[in-house]
Amino acid sequence: MLTHRIGLVVPSSNVTVETEVPALLSRHAGQFSFHASRMRMHRVTPEELAAMNAQRERCVDELADAGVDAVLYACLVAVMAQGAGEHRRVEKAIREQLPDTGILSSAGALVEALHALGAQRIALVTPYLRPLAEQVVAYLDAEGFAVVDWAALEVGDNAEVGCIPGDRVMAAARGLDLSGADALVISACVQMPSLDLIAPAEAEFGLPVLSAATAGAYALLASLGLDPVLPGAGRLLDGTR
59 known member of a binding site: no
Phi first, then psi, for residue 162 (nearest 5°) are -70, -10
> Half-sphere exposure of residue 11, counting CA atoms within 13 Å on the CB side?
30
90 known member of a binding site: no
d(C-alpha 7, C-alpha 36), whole Å: 6
Contacts of 129 (CB under 8 A, 6+ apart): 44, 45, 152, 154, 155, 156
- What CATH code is assigned to 110-211? 3.40.50.12500
d(C-alpha 241, C-alpha 64), whole Å: 34
pLDDT value of residue 241: 62
pLDDT value of residue 175: 97
pLDDT value of residue 52: 87
> Half-sphere exposure of residue 95, counting CA atoms within 13 Å on the CB side?
11
CATH 3.40.50.12500 residue ranges for the chain: 3-108+214-237, 110-211
d(C-alpha 177, C-alpha 222), whole Å: 32
pLDDT value of residue 195: 95
Name the pTM for this structure.
0.95
Contact (CB, 8 A) for 161 and 76: no
User: 173 by DSSP, 3-state: which?
Assistant: helix
Task: List, in sequence order, every beta strand (DSSP E) within the chain.
Answer: 3-11, 31-39, 70-73, 102-105, 121-126, 146-152, 183-187, 209-211
Separation in Å, CA 146 to CA 109, 139, 184: 17, 11, 12
For the chain of 241 residues, list the mean pLDDT of each consecutive stretch of 10.
93 94 96 96 90 92 94 95 95 93 95 97 97 97 98 94 97 97 97 96 97 97 96 92 62
128 known member of a binding site: yes
Contacts of 92 (CB under 8 A, 6+ apart): none
190 known member of a binding site: yes
Apex CA 30: angle with CA 17 and CA 35, to 5°? Answer: 35
191 known member of a binding site: yes
Task: List the one residue out of 111, 106, 115 whose CA is nearest residue 192.
Answer: 106
77 known member of a binding site: yes
Task: List the one residue out of 239, 197, 187, 191 whose CA is nearest residue 218.
Answer: 239
163 known member of a binding site: no
Give me the active site residues, please: 75, 189
Task: List the one residue out of 176, 231, 181 whose CA is nearest residue 206.
Answer: 181
> Quick one: CATH architecture of 3-108+214-237?
3-Layer(aba) Sandwich (3.40)
